[in-house]
């Protein structure tokens, strides 16, 4: 388990705990699918991150893998959201908020990791 996966696992744990606390404080019943959504986001982002990082050092492969990884992530998220909303029957605002917030937090960590990887290259290009 690398540092990215440790950090993203901590974020997933914090999101699960905060969803449980919010459910108890606000007395709004969350479906168990909301907690599964956080775990699903964790798994998808971890797998896609490993796919992107396994480029062999080739810049052309790296760019291609980032684009393919982004498309895979998008399709998997839309498929999960569509199946979940279809199974729920009615639109559950709590589920949507948990899903979107976990997706945005994980996306923030993914983009910060990519930015830190690309930043040294941009400094060398300016020199």
pLDDT (tens digit, 0 to 9) for every residue of the chain, 127 residues total?
778 788 888 888 988 998 889 888 888 888 888 899 999 999 999 999 888 888 777 777 778 888 899 999 999 999 999 998 898 888 778 888 889 989 998 888 888 777 655 555 555 545 5
CA distances to 28, 37, 119 from 72, rounded to whole Å, are 33, 17, 25
CB 96 within 8 A of CB 31: no
Q: What is the reported pLDDT for 66?
A: 85
Q: Could you tell me the pTM of the whole model?
A: 0.80
Q: What is the reported pLDDT for 118?
A: 59
Q: What is the reported pLDDT for 120?
A: 53
CB 63 within 8 A of CB 114: no
Q: How many CB atoms lie within 10 A of CB 70?
A: 14
Burial degree of 109 (CB within 10 A; 0-12, 13-18, 19+): middle
Q: What is the reported pLDDT for 112?
A: 77
Backbone angles phi, psi at 89, to 5 degrees: 90, -50
């Amino acid at each position: 388990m690398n540092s990215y996966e440790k950090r993203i696992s901590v974020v997933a744990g914090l999101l699960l705990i905060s969803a449980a606390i919010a459910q108890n404080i606000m007395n709004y019943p969350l479906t168990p699918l909301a907690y599964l959504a956080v775990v699903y986001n964790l798994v998808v982002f971890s797998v896609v991150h490993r796919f992107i990082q396994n480029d062999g050092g080739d810049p052309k492969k790296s760019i291609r893998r980032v684009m393919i990884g982004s498309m895979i992530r998008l399709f998997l998220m839309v498929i999960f959201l569509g199946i979940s909303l279809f199974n729920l029957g009615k639109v559950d605002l709590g589920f949507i908020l948990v899903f979107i917030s976990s997706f945005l937090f994980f996306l923030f960590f993914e983009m910060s990791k990519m930015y830190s990887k690309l930043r040294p290259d941009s400094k060398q290009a300016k020199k």
